[in-house]
Structures are given as structure tokens and as C-alpha cells.
Amino acid sequence: MAKDIIINFEDSCAEVQSEKLAKIEISLDNDKNTNKTRFMANETAYLRIYPNGLSPTLKSTLGTVSISSKDMMMDITEEIVFTRDNSAELKYLPTNAIKYSWIGRDPNVKPQFADKTITFPKEITGVLKVSYQSKYDSIKLFSKSEGTIIVEAYTDSYYGSITVNFLGAQSTEKRDVTLTVKDACSKSIVAGAKIYVDGKYIGVTNNSGVINLGERSVGTHTIKATKEGYTDSDKDTILNDEFIVPEVTN
């Protein structure tokens, strides 16, 4: 059975922009979790929270959640797609020198890095692979019960959330997933949006705003959509940065 999902994409509507908070990024810590994305009751799931040093209020719909350590260093590798673009942003703030290389043909133009921003003196087309380090704080989530748990982190100026599955043993089952991207204000479809799943570039939405994401394993996956004139979907306040592929039930 196929799984259809819809992501609402925020543009520059004045009403939406006025309500915007800065984004807190929360993700599973694959190193501490040994790449598990699904947990049993009475297990601990470890999360990474960025920016570091915010000391946010933490809430969870099940179990207990708390900061376990601060100012941890993480290695980041991003593949950033440029299609007649001259700028882009890294997901995290680098804390050291940035290394980069081109995947495929080198456009022979050097990027300039300033904080999280990458700029070129002209529009280019290519895939830039960037490696750097950034800092995060570590969160631990413990639950005695099974269930889907929402974890929230917030301050007066920042907000972020993540869904964590405490639904039993890791499943090897996969389902075909199709994504539809819509404008959050007008609800119209968005063609030509670049789509990333679990940090990897997938492709662009067609004229119907649809893209097939292929077979995805049961569990939680991260998703990001970008397009010129829109706020990147991982930087807005809409809760659409992840999706869950459920098991097939008879």
C-alpha cells in the first residue's frame, strides 16, 4: 500500500510572517541511538537540539525529557543543490573551517561562506558537498509506556518539536510514499520545489506539486522543501519537518 503525505509550504504572507519564531532543530542522535528510529518501552532515546545554549523549556506527551549534556560537537555533511541560484544556507552554524567539493561537474566558481550563508558571484547549477562541525545540546527521552511521543522545546523567541516512536521493535517493512507540496497561505500546489528526505536530495515536485519519494521504511523521516520566494520548510513555524510511515494494518 502507498502512503500519501502533504506538506504545506510557507510563503511571504504578512499574517504568517508576523507570527514567526526562530527555529529550534531537534533530531534523533543516530550515534547514541545506534541508528535506531524506533524504541521499546523502558528505553531511552537521545535527541540533538540546536542552537545549543538556549536552555529551553522541554515538554513531552509521554515519559520524561531533560537536557543530558551541553555544547557537544557534531560532524555535518550537506549536499546543497543549486539550480540557477547564487545563494543558499547551511542547516547549522559552522564552528570551524568548512570543506567543500562538487558532485559532478565543477562550475569553476568559488563559494563564499559567511555564518550559515553561501554565496556565489553569479547564478550556478551544481551540487555542492559541504562538511563542517557545529555544536548542539543533548536531550534524553525516557518512557515506561509505548506510544507516539511529541517532544517540544521552546523559549520566548524559539520553538521546535519532534515525534519519536516508542512503538516496539524496529520494523524492516517499507511502503511507497508520495508527497504533495502546497502553499500554506493559498493552499495551491507548488511545482518545482526541491525536496530532501533524511537529509538527502530527492528531486523536484512536478507541475501537480507531486513527487514520489520511493520506498521508505516504517517509522519517522525528516523532510525539507525549498523554493525561491518561499521560506525553507525547516525554517518556518509549521510543524511539517517530518513524517511517519505507518505499518500496514489488515
Q: How many CA atoms lie within 13 A of 210 on its CB side?
A: 7
Q: Give the torsion through C-alpha atoms of 46, 52, 53, 57, to 10 deg.
A: -50
Name the average pLDDT for the chain.
Answer: 87
Task: Give the pLDDT score at 170.
Answer: 64
d(CA 118, CA 139): 30
Rounded to two decimals, what is the model's pTM? 0.73
Q: What is the DSSP letter of 24?
A: P
Residue with the three cell numbers 518501552: 41
pLDDT at 226 over 60: yes
Tell me: the pLDDT tens digits for 6-39? 666 665 554 444 456 788 999 999 899 988 888 9
- Of 86-100, 127-141, 170-184, where does mean pLDDT reach its minimum? 170-184
Higher per-residue confidence, 189 vs 243? 189
Higher pLDDT, 114 or 17: 114
Mean pLDDT throughout 49-75?
A: 96
Spell out the domain ranges in the chain.
Answer: 3-73+135-245
CB-based burial of residue 109 (10 Å sphere; 0-12 exposed, 13-18 middle, 19+ buried)?
middle
Quote the pLDDT of residue 17.
Answer: 46
Q: What cell numbers appear for 187 in the block?
A: 493552499
Which residues on adjacent β-strands are paired with residue 66?
Answer: 140
CA distances from 212 to 148, 152, 174, 179, 204 (A): 25, 30, 14, 6, 10
Residues in the chain: 250
User: Do 247 and 173 meet the contact criterion of CB atoms below 8 Å apart?
Assistant: yes
- Contact assessment for residue 159 and residue 31, using Cβ atoms and an 8 Å cutoff: no
